[in-house]
Amino acid sequence: MVKPPRPFTSERPVAGFTDSSETVTNKDILNAFHDLLANLPKVKPPRRFTSERTRAGGTGAGGAVTNNDLLQTFNDLSATLREMMDGASGKDETSADAEAESVEAPTGRDPVRDKVAKLKSADPDADKMLLARQELETVVKSTGTAANEIMNLSDELLAAAEKIRQGQSSGEAANIDDHLSLLEEISTNLLMACEFQDLTGQRINVVTNTLLGLEDLIDDLFQAMDISKGTGKGGLDATTADDQRPDTDLLHGPQDEGKGISQDEIDALFD
Amino acid sequence: MAVDKKMQILVVDDYQTMLRILTNLLKQLGFTNVDQAQDGGEALSKLNNSKIDFVISDWNMEPMTGIELLREVRSSDKLKHIPFIMITAESKTENVIAAKEAGVSNYIVKPFNAETLKGKMESVLGAF
């Protein structure tokens, strides 16, 4: 956004009209252009006007400001404004300036760039993609731990059942209460082992919410770039782009119920 | 002929949980000699260096997949006769057809149950 320029020379004479008849002269117009220049936001130094050297006078005879001087000044001003709007980095921009520009807040000069920049966190440790991946890795880890715990308890159940069977076959007096207490304890522990679902469910919700936020940002980007129809390959990626294994086209991952072939349909292929 | 429950079975999967489930299920079915491998390459090494009588393998493993392992087994004079069941989450028809063409003995799609595992093993070994 360019600040509104202060009133032009033409709205109020700076030092009076240059012509005693109070007619607007070329010099008045030239001065107006220079006033406009003075009011432009100094994001970077504007190109030096060709006509700045003519501030004290034009290129015409006796220093008169010619129409050509005005046209040249107008063209210079136009070019400068265009450069500023494009946000182009000039040849004289230092690498430090370029670095600073890459992490600074939205400039307003390039709406698409500003939207893309929002996808990248200012703090690398807080990057959404990284954190979402870490959440899912934690889910895999904790479901693995829970599965092991449940299998351990399953082993204990089998052992308890075997103990009861052996007691029966050896004719020992059945200590039913002890066996039942053990089974109840294992049952309770099995129940508690299932609490992983609460925490993993919450973590997955966090990832889902993060994806929704990213989806909104990307939708904004599509709108800003006027993209209504995509050309990308849809669907989830069962493999990574650099997967070197043969037959990766056959790797689809687990399918939702009803989407993949059933065991009965598989059995029919083997009959 | 009665099924020899002392046969050496090799279960192949990159998930420890699944290896443990399969090993426990097989033990419950009476098969006590169960070895494990975590990918096709490790499995192939065990197949070439020890006597394995039956293979139960996942498909999606790295670096060697189950179907690559199957192809290696079927192309080896020493190993090609070994029964090979695939247990996998890959449930597209093209997967089953590819596995069949590669010489799989039977195909189980995850999630599965103990009864299905028993049934498919019996289809290969005979009832037990």
Per residue in A220-251, pLDDT (tens digit) is: 999 989 998 888 888 888 999 899 999 999 99
pTM tops 0.90, yes or no: no
Q: Which range has the top average pLDDT, A39-53, A179-193, B28-42?
A: B28-42
| 3-class DSSP state of A143 | helix
- Chain B residue closest to A254 (CA)? B89
- Chain B residue closest to A154 (CA)? B24
Percent of chain B exceeding pLDDT 90 equals: 92
Instruction: List own/partner pairs for A141-146 with CB under 8 A and 24 or more apart.
Output: A142/A196, A142/A199, A142/A200, A143/A196, A143/A200, A144/B15, A144/B16, A144/B17, A145/A196, A146/A193, A146/A194, A146/A196
Q: Which residues of A touch B107 (CB under 8 A)?
A: 266, 269-270
Can you give the pLDDT at residue A85?
Answer: 62
Query: If interface means Cβ-Cβ distance under 8 Å, which residues of chain B face chain A?
Result: 15-17, 20-21, 24, 59-60, 62-65, 67-68, 89-98, 100, 106-110, 112, 116, 123
Nearest CB among B17, B65, B106 relative to A144 is that of B17
Cα separation, B54 vs B73, whole angstroms: 11
CB contact under 8 A, B91 and A255: yes
User: How sure is the predictor about A57, in pLDDT bands with cuts at 50, 70 and 90?
Assistant: low
Least confident of A15-24, A107-116, B46-55, B74-83: A15-24
Between the alpha carbon of residue A212 and those of residues A120, A123, A130, A136, A217, the distances in Å are 15, 20, 15, 16, 9
pLDDT in tens, A165-198: 888 777 766 678 888 888 888 888 888 888 888 8
Can you give the pLDDT at residue A100?
Answer: 44
The whole-angstrom distance between B8's CA and the closest CA on chain A is 22
Q: How many Cα neighbours within 13 Å face the side chain of A103?
A: 9
Whose tokens are 């504007």? That residue is A46
CB contact under 8 A, A254 and B94: no
Please, what is the Cα angle at A268 between A261 and B87, to 5 degrees?
55
pLDDT in tens, A91-149: 444 444 444 444 445 566 788 888 888 888 888 888 888 999 999 999 999 999 999 99
Q: Which range has the top average pLDDT, A67-71, A227-231, B60-64?
A: B60-64
Residue A17 has pLDDT above 80, yes or no: no
Tell me which of A148, A247, A249, A259 to substitute to probe the interface with B (most B C-beta atoms closer than 10 Å): A247
Residue A80 has pLDDT above 50, yes or no: yes
The single-letter DSSP state of residue A250 is G
Q: Which residues of B touch A263 (CB under 8 A)?
A: 108-109, 112, 116
Quick check: A245 contacting B, CB < 8 Å?
yes
**C-alpha dihedral, A81 to A86 to A87 to A91, nearest 10°:** -80
Percent of chain A exceeding pLDDT 70 equals: 72
Q: Which residues of B touch A245 (CB under 8 A)?
A: 62-65, 68
